[in-house]
Amino acid sequence: MKFLLTLSVTLLLIAGFQDYSTAEPAPVPVRETFAIKTKSLTITLQVGTDGRLYQQPISAGPSGSKPARDDEFYPQAGDGYVWEPALQVTHADGNTSTALVFDSLTQSNETADITATRIRLHDPAYPFDVTLCFNTHHDEDVVEQWIELNHAEKGAVTLQRVESSSLLLGGDVYLTHFFGDWAKEMLSPITEKITPGTKVLDSKLGVRASQFRNPSFILSLGGAANETNAVVLAGSLAWSGSFQCEFDNYGQGVRALTGINPFESAISLPAGKIFVTPTMLWVWSTNGLGDMSRKFHRWAREFGLRDGHTPRQVLLNNWEATGFDFDFKRIVSLYDPAKKIGTELFLLDDGWFGNKYPRVDDHAGLGDWQPNRQRLPDGLAPLASEAVKRGLRFGIWMEPEMVNPRSELFDAHPDWAIRQPKRELELQRNQLVLDLTRPAVQKFEWNVIQNILSVPNITYAKWDCNRYLTQPGSPYLAPSRQSELWVDYVNALYALMDKTAKAFPNTELMLCSGGGGRADYGALKYFHEFWPSDNTDPTLRVPMQWDYSYFFPVMALASHVTHWGNRPMHFACAVAMSARFGMDLDLTKLSAQDKAICAGAINAYKQIRDVTQLGELYRLEDPHENFRGALNFVSPDRHRAVVFAFQLKDGANRPAFPQGLDPDQHYTVHELNPAPSRETIPQEGKTFTGEELMREGVMPSCSKAVEASVVELTE
């Protein structure tokens, strides 16, 4: 009898286990449906009879199934949901569960193109509210999404995880992401199908988003992405700190969770205070990567960076010419050659400051932002004045967030540096990060920036950040608030950047961060451009700039001509012309031929920069997959275009096929700044219709490795 009873119980348990393991999630009846829409993207949301908010998965084909529990739009931890949640909190009474139900929807037209949507959710058991916020840009198929969270509980609520976005995708989903390192940023794109399980892209660098990974990625639905006819969704998190982008394939679809990295980032939120997440940017296209990028670029020029409709001037940096070894006379000696060759802006880089601990190398001086009296006895103003006399603007390098232990600042305030107690200081580039959560540091850094940028005739600044956090401890924050350092630092940094942009509206600002460490729209909205990488070898800049162009317009990509890689000067200049042209050269040491090439490139860049920087980009030949890279730009009115061909390996010459031209318009073909001793292109000076050029192609003048050709098409 005992044996039969045991067998019966066992069989019942097995049957129950089989039922649970094979059962589909039960569908939820729908009581209300609404949508967040752009021109060609629809995110369909449904309120179930249980009060929860669900999403129909976005897919390459039709989707219309009833929602199930796994399809919750912004899932919460602790109340029945078993996959990765978008929200995880501990309430003031210690309860680790949250259950959000739909409360209200409001939509308003901010402009003819922008619709603002706010969806309020609340927890019936607590005075705890979450608002899902969206700005949709109709014509560009761009969705900006962020979360606002507040409560009125009796005590602080601990935010363990608050994602900026949680989006459901159906069908086969492919992910393209970008791995890199210092001097290798955005050089290793990886495309892979998201298989069952979880794929995580993340950063734990604290004070900048990227170095090893980038907070921008591409999702393609139904197959791998291509330039012209794939269904793609680009994502970019506007955040300059530690991030996490997670793609969870749980068998029913793929959920993309993006936001601040929850690693060691718990936030104690008092009652009445609103917590706002970073903005997540989504850009949709059913016509491939090219269309997606052009939409992203149009949005960025309008909303993502400063002065996005003003072409950038030609810059000359002294770093490659002098390094740390210069004085007033040496710098002024660089001005006349710079003006003669056609540059418009001179940037004085690192090494101009520090007295007790002079900045003669990178071991000392950071934090002591007074001009070095031996090098610059009268300060920066005379240097800037001498540049302006010669018709050059003047810019300056600064790194206000950092300090060297060998500095007067560190002598006076060692507790101002981010560090862990009882541990030996760990330096990167011989420096530490100042603790921006401390009000005194915020005041100090603002005074530094204000004093530097208030010097007469300084109209450009390069803001650097040459290390990330490895000992994330704040002597200022209480022991219970140490995890807030990661988030509070970035928010304080944005406040400082915002203050700088508003106080100095006519000062052009470049983001630099040990190379491309701050290639994100969180910081870029306060700046005009960013430094993609310290690696300026043009053979590597071609694929690097190709990958950055998925997300950023080329006017935001600083591209300088240097001797890195010892490539031919003509090739280096052509690569720089395709982005924001700059130079890092000692012009006095160039040969006559190289000077002529540089002068010709600068002149050509000035002719076409309105097309390349304000026009539409078409990527033609992927440098990762071919012996050359090719792309073209078309002016908004389609009256002008520029074709670039960059030969990376020897290979038979062949036409490059431009796109985006007006098929009925006639264009005259002209090669800009042709390389010395190279044959004239066969179409030089001839006129063709746009249809003929797109069908027959443009024959560049390059066929050997490290040769380039830039061809202008004019009405």
- pLDDT for 210 equals 87
User: What pLDDT band is residue 23 in, cutting at 50, 70 and 90?
Assistant: low
Assess contact for 81 and 75: CB atoms under 8 A.
yes
What is the distance between the alpha carbons of residues 421 and 472, in angstroms, rounded to a whole number? 10
Read off the pLDDT of each residue in 11-40 and give the average, rounded to a whole number: 69
Task: Provide the mean pLDDT of the chain.
Answer: 95
- pLDDT for 63 equals 67
**What's the one-letter identity of residue 362?**
D
Chain segment 668-684, per-residue pLDDT in tens: 999 999 999 899 999 99
Please name the residues in contact with 195: beta carbons below 8 A apart, sequence gap of 6 or more: 249
Chain segment 539-559, per-residue pLDDT in tens: 999 999 999 999 999 999 999
- pLDDT for 624 equals 96
pLDDT at 211 over 90: no
* Paired tokens of 644: 């670039």
Read off the pLDDT of each residue in 37-60 and give the average, rounded to a whole number: 96
Give the length of the chain: 715
Percent of the chain with pLDDT over 90: 93
The residues carrying an active-site annotation are: 464, 534
Query: 149 to each of 35, 97, 244, 392, 518, how far by Cα in Å?
Result: 22, 16, 19, 49, 27
- pLDDT for 66 equals 83
Read off the pLDDT of each residue in 478-497 and give the average, rounded to a whole number: 98
Query: 192 to each of 178, 246, 697, how far by Cα in Å?
Result: 12, 14, 32
- pLDDT for 24 equals 66
Identify the residue with better confidence: 211 or 8.
Answer: 211
Read off the pLDDT of each residue in 395-399 and give the average, rounded to a whole number: 98
Read off the pLDDT of each residue in 645-662 and give the average, rounded to a whole number: 96
Assess contact for 295 and 285: CB atoms under 8 A.
yes
Helix (H) or strand (E) holding 571: helix 569-577
Select from 659, 667, 605 the least CA-distant residue to 634. Answer: 659
pLDDT at 21 over 60: no
**What's the one-letter identity of residue 288?**
G
What is the distance between the alpha carbons of residues 428 and 409, in angstroms, rounded to a whole number? 18
Chain segment 344-378, per-residue pLDDT in tens: 999 999 999 999 999 999 999 999 999 999 999 99
- pLDDT for 14 equals 33
- Number of neighbours of residue 427 by Cβ within 10 angstroms: 13
Select from 369, 354, 368, 352 the least CA-distant residue to 450. Answer: 369
Task: For tokens 């921006």, name the residue.
Answer: 436
Chain segment 569-625, per-residue pLDDT in tens: 999 999 999 999 999 999 999 999 999 999 999 999 999 999 999 999 999 999 999
User: What pLDDT band is residue 17 in, cutting at 50, 70 and 90?
Assistant: very low
Assess contact for 138 and 115: CB atoms under 8 A.
yes
pLDDT at 10 over 60: no
Which domains does the chain carry?
Answer: 30-79+86-304 (2.70.98.60), 315-534 (3.20.20.70), 617-714 (2.60.40.1180)
- pLDDT for 11 equals 32
User: What pLDDT band is residue 5 in, cutting at 50, 70 and 90?
Assistant: very low
Read off the pLDDT of each residue in 315-338 and give the average, rounded to a whole number: 97
User: What pLDDT band is residue 421 in, cutting at 50, 70 and 90?
Assistant: very high
pLDDT at 493 over 60: yes
User: What pLDDT band is residue 61 in, cutting at 50, 70 and 90?
Assistant: confident
Read off the pLDDT of each residue in 51-78 and give the average, rounded to a whole number: 90
pLDDT at 4 over 70: no
DSSP line for 38-61? -SS-EEEEEEETTS-EEEPPB-SS
Identify the residue with better confidence: 12 or 79.
Answer: 79
Task: For tokens 């394939």, name the residue.
Answer: 249
Read off the pLDDT of each residue in 77-85 and give the average, rounded to a whole number: 92
Read off the pLDDT of each residue in 417-432 and give the average, rounded to a whole number: 97
Chain segment 252-277, per-residue pLDDT in tens: 789 999 999 999 999 999 999 999 99
